[in-house]
């Protein structure tokens, strides 16, 4: 039984987006990462959580693993550079952090539901690759149950918004009404779909979708009676676009200043609003220096979502109380599991002594 649980990572509070995107892992990379954690950092169990707002490594081990060094090696970075952005939690603090993450108390938008799905995906990937099988497995499973309890016993999710919703709110703030505005969504992942749903509810009826995988773009466009744009030719549609939401999985910029400047010229300098909610970023930051181009990345959205903090604070406090209660309960369960083999061993030894004494007394006293 390996009870030392350690977490090392960075999030939207500890590191800017340009540092987070250096460490972001794609799903297909995780098997290799988990293997390196076992071999290099001595992890007995391991899980990697990689989202647009955080990258965290969670391990159970017999020793104190060098997770910062492992992260640095995985990405070819200087550990000293990473150290200034990394936080580390062990033991009780690690449990508390994991439970708070699952309950969305550590998210940029407190109460947003996406993080639980992302955590479950990380769990399934680790499980498939044999990296979860003991203490850490049971602790993460417990985190899911705690998140469910927080949802059912508080209203933390009622006033919460997702990053994609915050992006739409920002668009509405700049344009007033979204009716009549033409929107292009680049990327057909979950974040894009959520943004499209919020846009649709906000009155945007002219929604275009582009994605590397045409069938995925078609599926999403069908949800909103939108139009599919060929990914290879989407730059040609830019002059028609009022709002562009970029959330593709591309590892390099899909849009630069030249294309946007050209589009704004054709638009006769009508403003274009660009929201980049991808990590790594999809849009070259230089676009933000152009006249009539308003570019916001995921860190800028923090200013939008902070308005809801007061509304959610009371529910978050109740959720924190639940997490503390569950941390104490989990520690007791883990201690019981550690002590149980000792108790069983003592019982076996006592049984040997008892049997020996009974036989000795029978020899003296008879049956």
Residue positions annotated with a catalytic role: 52
The contacts found for 39-44 with CB under 8 angstroms, 24 or more apart, are 40/69, 40/70, 40/73, 41/65, 41/66, 41/67, 41/69, 41/70, 43/131, 44/2, 44/134
At 272, give phi and psi (nearest 5°): -125, 135
**What is the distance between the alpha carbons of residues 190 and 248, in angstroms, rounded to a whole number?**
10
Contact yes or no for 202/178 (Cβ under 8 A): yes
- Strand bridging mode 87-90 / 4-11: antiparallel
Angle CA(207)–CA(210)–CA(213) in degrees, nearest 5?
140
3-state secondary structure of 81: helix
By CB atoms closer than 10 A (0-12, 13-18, 19+), residue 118 is middle
Farthest-apart Cα atoms in the chain, separation: 112
Name 294's bridge partners: 273
């Amino acid at each position: 039984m390996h009870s030392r649980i350690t977490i090392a990572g960075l999030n939207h509070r500890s590191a800017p987006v340009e540092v987070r995107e250096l460490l972001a892992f794609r799903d297909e990379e995780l098997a290799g990462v988990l293997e390196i954690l076992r071999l290099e950092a001595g992890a007995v169990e391991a899980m990697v959580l990689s989202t647009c707002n955080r990258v965290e490594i969670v391990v159970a081990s017999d020793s104190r693993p060098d997770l910062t060094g492992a992260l640095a090696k995985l990405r070819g970075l200087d550990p000293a550079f990473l150290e200034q952005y990394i936080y580390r939690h062990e033991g009780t603090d690690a449990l508390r952090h994991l439970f708070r993450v699952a309950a969305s108390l550590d998210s940029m938008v407190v109460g947003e539901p996406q993080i639980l799905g992302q955590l479950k995906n990380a769990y399934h990937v680790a499980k498939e690759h044999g990296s979860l099988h003991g203490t850490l497995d049971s602790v993460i499973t417990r985190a899911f149950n705690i998140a469910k309890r927080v949802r059912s016993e508080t209203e933390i999710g009622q006033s919460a918004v997702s990053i994609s919703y915050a992006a739409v709110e920002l668009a509405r703030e700049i344009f007033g009404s979204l009716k009549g505005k033409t929107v292009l969504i680049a990327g057909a992942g979950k974040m894009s779909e959520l943004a499209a749903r919020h846009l649709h509810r906000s009155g945007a009826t002219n929604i275009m979708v582009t994605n590397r995988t045409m069938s995925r773009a078609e599926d999403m466009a069908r949800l909103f009676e939108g139009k599919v744009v060929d990914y290879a030719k989407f730059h040609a549609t830019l002059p028609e676009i009022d709002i562009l939401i970029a959330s593709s999985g591309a590892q390099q910029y899909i849009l630069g200043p030249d294309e946007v400047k050209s589009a704004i010229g054709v638009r006769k300098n009508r403003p274009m609003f660009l929201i980049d909610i991808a990590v790594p970023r999809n849009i070259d930051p230089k676009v933000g220096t152009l006249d009539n181009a308003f570019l916001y990345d995921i860190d800028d959205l923090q200013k939008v979502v902070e308005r809801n903090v007061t509304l959610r604070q009371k529910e978050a406090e109740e959720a924190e109380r639940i997490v503390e209660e569950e941390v104490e309960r989990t520690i007791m369960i883990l201690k019981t599991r550690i002590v149980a083999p000792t108790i069983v061993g003592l019982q076996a030894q006592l049984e040997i002594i008892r049997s020996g004494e009974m036989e000795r007394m029978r020899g003296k006293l008879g049956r």
